[in-house]
Chains A and B, each alone.
Chain A
């Protein structure tokens, strides 16, 4: 038995109250491609950051090339031959390709002579090895995304990296660029490099990986060998299927696995009139194409999909933050042009943004000002603030949503995450909106506050609001939604009824053709 390049056992890691990893075991051998698969938030990124030394694990052991390592720093990981290629290449755009390579490969000594000829020769050699047709003098800003990726790979190869991590490398590549990347990866494998390959695209994993490990809720739930038939792979490109044993369905089952613990929130009454209707909406800036959907009063429509599927972008287009190029938006049957958030608010739209810690509430303003911010014009028609109505509104909402705060004058920054989220929600309730768009409303919120927010969302819908719920938390969308839309690659790919199963949703989000009725299209690969 060969010794593995890398062996992780029972790695745990917490951030505050959130346990990101609860016991992950993983190993990697020289000359293999080991895929890492999991839902959003399963712990893939955290695991990668532990391997590259960006995070220190709380528990467990890590053996790198036969040596037990503790407290690995990024510099040390680099010195031991770990290289990571991120989705967004981390190069210096104003420097040339060879300078970028030199920064990674040459010793860090500020006072030394630079041998430009040697630097250039080295760059040419490395670029050739990864099959990149790039001039070493070219500035990185002029390169396309896949070309930049190749420069990153060249740097990893040049550093003699024995362990190369690739985090969703094909996310922004076209089919042809993908093929070229795959051949580079296969070349690295032949040379004895261990590749950790992260991707949401199952067909890539079947085409490329030797083994696959599935993470779920911060734990490794299984490692399987992928029995790729090399002959068919060569014949049919990346769409090779396993000969037997491991199937896509089995992998999806592993990823979703858990028993859905949240009970479905029953709807009190039938949905009312159509409030929001979107026809063939496209936005180049937002990467959205041909989205059509309808939300009725009293209805919660879930929007599922993987990170980067375009859900947040769709919400931003609807709220006037990103311009739309084509398509029609109707509110209460009236065609509207939403050119800015201020217009959207005026039309009865409300949007609870994804990144609450950054833009949900204004941390320096007191709770009362945060709640009244979107209804300023209605509350204060004149020049002056009137603290009476403002405080009454805030006090009511603080009570109704049971926000835990040290009075309505406490600054927003003094509240806990869940309560900040409730303040952001109350701001929108104060506007008495017709359509409420929620983007990851319970992300980073503790369990208690989470179920309270769920109850609130249901109550709001029952009171006649049309709710569009974006969530990566599969049990959450399944439990709350009356209808489920699945997005992938900037467009809707499936519509599923209430009570759908997790695996069906995940299959649609991953682009598999096996989901149930209502599946509109199951296009395989797609360009950027």
Chain B
């Protein structure tokens, strides 16, 4: 059983209330691209609707919440239903509260400034992600030694209908 099978769940807020939410969605999507082997995004609306596989994954694997503002919907929901998050990102800490609380935006309307905000947060989350991943891999090694390893089968937590998130 390889330590490369350790996965990290990234839970983004839904992002409809503010620009910070839009950025958090984009950042989460980006993690699928830059840490594709270890990232599993967890669909928060499905998670809250009772998605058994989403919740099960978040209970079993380390998670990182990415929130657009201090309401911290993603962090609170994850901790309410599946346990403590391994790291929590609040986008407003990086782009400023005022900017984060502006209106939600379509990706069609992203400016270079917005893209720079995404990159800035991606930089931070990648650092945190790698720390969480290394810690999880160390745990995995220890658990393998005890025969209690956690294993992810793919890039998806999976929803009830079997189609599965990425």
A binds B: no
Instruction: List chain A positions with a Cβ less than 8 A from chain B.
Output: none
